[in-house]
C-alpha cells in the first residue's frame, strides 16, 4: 500500500511558513494543517472567556470546552464559529505563544494534529512538527530568514490591514515571540536533525514553493 506523504515545515515567526505551506498544498493537492491556528484558537477562547492566560489550571479546564475544525478552504472554526480573522489579532498571537508553553495544551493539540495528519497527503506548519508531531515525516523543512527580512514582511502584511508599526517595534515583537517559542520547556522551537534548512531571505515565495515541490516529487 502506498504511504501518505507528510511534509513538516517548522521555523520562527514570520518566516512565511503558512503562505508557503498553503501554496504547496494547493499545487500538490495536499491537506494543509495550520497548527499555529490551533494554538491561536486556545488563546482566543481564553481571551474571550476572560480566562487568565497565565493561570495554567484555568487554561487546562478551558480546553475541555474547545473544539477546533480546519476546513479545506483554510477557514478555522472554534466550537462551530468561524474565527479565521479574529485569531490573527496581535493580542491573540502573543496569547498563543503564552498558552503553547503548557504541556496539557500541547498534548491536546498534538493528538488532534496527528489524527488530522492521517487523512491523506498532508503539509503541516508550526514549531514542533518535525521534532514532535511527526518525527517520521516524509520531508522536514526548517524555513528561516533574517530577523530584518521577517520584520519587513510582517510590516507589509500589516500595512495592508492599515496598521503602521516601525521596523524597530516589529523586530522587537518578533524577537520576543521567537524567544518565548524557543526557550519554553516543552517542545521548544528546534530545527530537527534531519530537516532541510531553507533560508528564504533572498528567495521569492515561488522559489521556496518550487524547492519544496521538487523535494516532494
Ligand atoms: O505560527 P503562528 O504564528 O500562527 O503560531 C502562533 C503561536 O503558537 C506561536 O507563537 C507558537 C505556537 N505554536 C507552537 O507552539 N507550536 C506549533 N506547532 C505551532 C504554533
> For ligand 1, is residue 106 a contact (CB within 6 Å)?
no
Which grid coordinates belong to 132?
514532535
DSSP of 105-172 = HHHHHHHHHHHHGGGSSEEEEESSIIIII-TT-SEEEEEE--HHHHHHHHHHHHHHTT----HHHHHH
What is the spatial distance between Cα 200 and Cα 63, in angstroms, rounded to a whole number? 35
Buried b (16+ CB within 10 A) or exposed e, 24-38: bbeebebbbbbbbbb
What is the spatial distance between Cα 70 and Cα 158, in angstroms, rounded to a whole number? 24
Contact present, 9 and 198 (Cβ < 8 Å): no
Low-confidence ranges of the chain (pLDDT < 70): 1-2
If one residue of 15, 33, 174, 181 were mutated to test the ligand 1 pocket, choosing by the most ligand atoms within 8 A of its CB, it would be: 181
> For ligand 1, is residue 177 a contact (CB within 6 Å)?
yes
- Using DSSP, state whether 184 is helix, strand or coil: coil
- Closest ligand 1 atom to 14 CA: 3
> For ligand 1, is residue 113 a contact (CB within 6 Å)?
no
What is the reported pLDDT for 1? 55
Which grid coordinates belong to 177?
515571540
Amino acid at each position: 500500500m502506498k504511504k501518505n506523504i507528510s511534509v513538516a515545515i517548522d521555523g520562527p515567526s514570520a518566516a512565511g511558513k503558512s503562505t508557503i505551506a498553503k501554496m504547496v498544498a494547493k499545487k500538490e493537492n495536499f491537506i494543509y494543517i495550520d497548527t499555529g491556528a490551533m494554538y491561536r484558537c486556545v488563546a482566543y477562547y481564553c481571551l474571550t472567556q476572560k480566562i487568565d492566560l497565565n493561570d495554567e489550571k484555568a487554561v487546562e479546564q478551558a480546553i475541555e470546552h474547545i473544539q477546533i475544525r480546519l476546513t479545506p478552504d483554510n477557514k478555522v472554526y472554534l466550537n462551530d464559529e468561524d474565527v479565521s480573522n479574529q485569531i490573527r489579532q496581535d493580542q491573540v498571537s502573543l496569547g498563543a505563544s503564552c498558552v503553547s508553553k503548557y504541556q496539557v495544551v500541547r498534548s491536546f493539540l498534538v493528538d488532534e494534529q496527528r489524527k488530522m495528519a492521517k487523512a491523506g497527503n498532508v503539509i503541516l506548519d508550526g514549531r514542533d512538527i518535525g521534532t514532535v508531531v511527526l518525527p517520521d515525516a516524509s520531508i522536514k523543512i526548517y524555513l528561516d530568514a533574517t530577523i530584518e527580512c521577517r520584520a519587513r514582511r510582517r510590516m507589509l502584511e500589516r500595512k495592508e490591514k492599515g496598521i503602521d508599526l516601525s521596523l524597530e517595534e516589529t523586530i522587537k515583537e518578533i524577537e520576543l515571540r521567537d524567544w518565548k517559542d524557543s526557550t519554553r520547556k516543552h517542545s521548544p522551537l528546534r530545527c530537527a536533525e534531519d530537516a532541510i534548512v531553507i533560508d528564504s531571505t533572498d528567495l521569492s515565495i515561488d522559489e521556496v514553493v518550487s524547492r519544496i515541490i521538487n523535494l516532494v516529487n
